Chain A
Amino acid sequence: MRHIISILIENESGALSRVAGLFSARGYNIESLTVAPTEDPSLSRMTLVTSGSDEIIEQITKQLNKLIDVVKLIDLAESAHIERELMLVKIKTSHDTREEVKRMVDIFRGKIIDVTANSYVVEMTGQSSKLDAFIHGFEEGSIIEVVRSGPTGISRGEKGLHL
């Protein structure tokens, strides 16, 4: 099963490589990893998407917790949560297709943020599956470039992951 693990980690130079190294050394699956500073400059937030059996996910969370730099973590899959990913897509357009592309973008609640005679850049956020669906809605060859941030997430309700 797919799991989103949200980690608060000391903002130290080697912290990212400790996490990445753990996954490669132990052969765990890693689908995406995002890192950014938090409101507390001494901490970073990592969001990691992985998949595996329950036993493997249990080991992954235990091994992550064992890293000295990891302060706290939660497996978002264990409770209700919201997941979002940002995508920027460059799409080929022509006189004939511009309207159609714009309609697609509207349906998916995206935004066109750059326009040339032959292309649009579209910005879109949502669940990863929605972004996939948008991409699949285009013919092969009409997408020039796709840039995705990887998912990030937060739990529902009033509780948060902090110190």
Chain B
Amino acid sequence: MELSGGHILVQCLKDEGVEFVFGYPGGSVLHIYDAIFHQDEVKHILVRHEQAAAHAADAYARATGKPGVVLVTSGPGATNAVTGIATAYMDSIPMVIISGQVPSPVIGSDAFQEVDTVGITRPCVKHNFLVKDVNDLAETMKKAFYVATTGRPGPVLVDVPKDMTDPNIKVPYKYPKKISMRSYNPVVTGHKGQIKRAVEMLLTAQRPMIYSGGGVILGEAHKELTELTQLLGYPITNTLMGLGGYPATDKQFVGMLGMHGTYEANMAMHESDVILAVGARFDDRVTGKLAEFCPYAKIIHIDVDPASISKTVKVDVPIVGDVKPVLEQMLELIKDSKIKPSKSALDSWWQLIQSWRDVHCLEYDRNSKVIKPQYVVEQLYQVTHGEAYVTSDVGQHQMYAAQYYHFDKPRRWINSGGLGTMGFGLPAAIGVKLAFPEANVACITGEASIQMCIQELSTALQYHAPVKIINLNNRYMGMVRQWQEFSYESRYSQSYMDTIPDFVKLAEAYGHVGMLIEKPEDVRGALEHAFALKDRTVFLDFITDRTENVYPMIEAGKGHHDMKLRVAPGTPVDRELS
């Protein structure tokens, strides 16, 4: 089969089983768009800004486990996509980005809409390619998908000069079935000896903790993790990226850890003597002050990326490998082992954890006359029976979502953790809804974040992706305001916006339903009404308490045991309404 470059690209996507391409056209990709026009197998989703194309593709990948695909033009198309590419990179999300480039003969001449896309994206992609010969196009695409989806996943960009897609130049097309690269061979199985050591250490622990992260979701190992945790009877905590890797409603789950983690999760980490870290990368939001991180613990770390191991925290038993097979290997050894976890040690450990749980660190004022953001998330959880896909933006609302929506399944919680990109939520919700048209998809956002990609309301209408936007409108960049309250004596420098649009009218202008909710007693009904409108995008503008803060909080430079709580431990909390 002889094809021109544009058709080759589209054919590669078909052969790769790609369902959606999120993109935006422009001069250098017109040949490719013409090839797209000639078929309908690969569906193109026209976003309203290239950043959103990347976020939607990224979220599609997070929800499905399949790589997201993006198509943008050269110059501004590529630079607009950079924020979205960096977002995916920081959270290790598999994605392939095809960017147009000026024709190869004029590269380097400051041609119209020329930027050095390979150079600009180099630090925020797993790898990138510049195609120099149309005969290499198919193989390069295969490599891109292979690199993006294996090992530690990540975005891979393929920069395609316009002459590579010239409709007059046709070359034989064959999509490689398999590819191997001498310079890239990700490790899969773990070192047997290390795994044995790890299991012994785990089984003889007195105060064990399991700390799991995004790697469990990425590596599809939630079943193995759950089995191992329940077999051992140990407490488990998840990072923000790891939520859903272990059922949040299970009694062994002590909540998220880190800066806005629960009191019990952080205290348990602090007092633990053996920590099993699974697909988590000891991020600074998790560790707090490194010198005070887990002072009594020996640490076992399973990670597919050797560079994640002992990067910030020195570990005692490193295991390089894919979580799933490594956990399987561990499970086998645990089942066969003569050593069993000490029941008495475990009992007193759980007692201690119970005393931390009794602090009820997530309690908040349920008698409030203004809407509490936590209450909205709790109600959303109930109305959707905990089964919704929840995307979020970045800020306080993101933390409330993580704390009060209990994820029992992986891939349901879709947020930007590593880069913390405001503007992620809405395009992400669209990407997820396209993947799962029957599912409930909610975007928990704030009045500042939502305005960073608000134009995507238009995309949601065009492609019939009815999502529910839960705007926790506190009339502040709440997260920034909170830091300013705590660390800058409440000098609220530029964390307030003077003119906030009428979101109801805005939603209506885009062809959607808008709702304004101002009283706590209206929250439940509004949510029920919105979700009953199955085929409409609904913008729910909840006017929430302006002064609410996210607790617990470990302030910068503090250790896990040094948490700021809403109510000091020991103070009785009014729990009548709960």
User: Which A residues are within 8 Å of any B CB, using their own CB?
Assistant: 9-10, 13-14, 17-18, 21, 25, 55, 58-59, 62-63, 65-66, 68-71, 163
Interface check B1, CB cutoff 8 A = no
- From A17, A58, A63, A69, contact of B310 by CB (8 A): A58
> Which A residues are in CB contact (< 8 Å) with B127?
68-69
Q: How far is the CA of A97 from the CA of B307 in the complex (A)?
A: 55
Nearest-CB residue, chain A, relative to B147: A68
User: Which B residues are within 8 Å of any A CB, using their own CB?
Assistant: 118-119, 122-123, 126-128, 130, 147, 181-184, 305-307, 310-311, 314
Enumerate 26 A-B pairs (CB-CB under 8 Å) in ascending A order.
Answer: A10-B183, A13-B130, A14-B122, A14-B128, A17-B119, A17-B122, A18-B122, A21-B122, A21-B123, A25-B123, A55-B310, A55-B314, A58-B310, A62-B306, A63-B307, A65-B307, A66-B305, A66-B307, A68-B127, A68-B147, A68-B183, A68-B184, A69-B183, A70-B183, A71-B183, A163-B182
> Which B residues are in CB contact (< 8 Å) with A68?
126-127, 147, 181, 183-184
Most B CB contacts (10 A, CB to CB) among A18, A58, A59, A66 go to A66
How many residue pairs bridge A and B at CB < 8 Å? 39
Nearest-CB residue, chain A, relative to B309: A62
Q: How far is the CA of A58 from the CA of B309 in the complex (A)?
A: 10
Q: How far is the CA of A13 from the CA of B104 in the complex (A)?
A: 14
Distance in Å: Cβ of A163 to nearest Cβ of chain B: 7
CB within 8 Å for A14 and B118 given contacts A59-B311, A68-B126, A71-B183: yes
> Which A residues are in CB contact (< 8 Å) with B310?
55, 58
Q: How far is the CA of A151 from the CA of B123 in the complex (A)?
A: 27
Nearest-CB residue, chain A, relative to B308: A62
Q: List 11 additional A-B contacts (Cβ < 8 Å) besides A69-B183, A71-B182.
A: A14-B119, A14-B122, A14-B128, A14-B130, A21-B122, A58-B310, A59-B307, A62-B306, A63-B307, A68-B181, A68-B184
Nearest-CB residue, chain A, relative to B156: A68
> Which A residues are in CB contact (< 8 Å) with B183?
9-10, 68-71
Distance in Å: Cβ of A50 to nearest Cβ of chain B: 16
Nearest-CB residue, chain B, relative to A42: B182
- From B126, B130, B306, contact of A65 by CB (8 A): B306
> Which A residues are in CB contact (< 8 Å) with B147?
68
Distance in Å: Cβ of A143 to nearest Cβ of chain B: 37
Q: How far is the CA of A55 from the CA of B310 in the complex (A)?
A: 8
> Which B residues are in CB contact (< 8 Å) with A69?
127, 183
Q: How far is the CA of A68 from the CA of B122 in the complex (A)?
A: 12
Q: How far is the CA of A163 from the CA of B548 in the complex (A)?
A: 60
Distance in Å: Cβ of B13 to nearest Cβ of chain A: 21
Distance in Å: Cβ of A93 to nearest Cβ of chain B: 44
> Which B residues are in CB contact (< 8 Å) with A18?
122
> Which B residues are in CB contact (< 8 Å) with A17?
119, 122
Q: How far is the CA of A21 from the CA of B123 in the complex (A)?
A: 7
> Which B residues are in CB contact (< 8 Å) with A55?
310, 314
> Which B residues are in CB contact (< 8 Å) with A62?
306-307
Q: How far is the CA of A116 from the CA of B4 in the complex (A)?
A: 62
Q: How far is the CA of A66 from the CA of B310 in the complex (A)?
A: 15
Distance in Å: Cβ of A5 to nearest Cβ of chain B: 15
Q: How far is the CA of A69 from the CA of B126 in the complex (A)?
A: 11
Nearest-CB residue, chain B, relative to A21: B122
Distance in Å: Cβ of B436 to nearest Cβ of chain A: 32
Most A CB contacts (10 A, CB to CB) among B118, B123, B126, B183 go to B183
Most A CB contacts (10 A, CB to CB) among B122, B305, B307, B314 go to B307
> Which A residues are in CB contact (< 8 Å) with B130?
13-14
Most B CB contacts (10 A, CB to CB) among A13, A62, A65, A70 go to A62
The list of the 6 closest CB pairs from A to B, nearest first, reads A62-B307, A68-B127, A71-B183, A62-B306, A68-B184, A25-B123
Nearest-CB residue, chain A, relative to B123: A25
Q: How far is the CA of A71 from the CA of B181 in the complex (A)?
A: 9
> Which B residues are in CB contact (< 8 Å) with A63?
307
> Which A residues are in CB contact (< 8 Å) with B305?
66
Nearest-CB residue, chain B, relative to A66: B307
Q: How far is the CA of A13 from the CA of B311 in the complex (A)?
A: 30
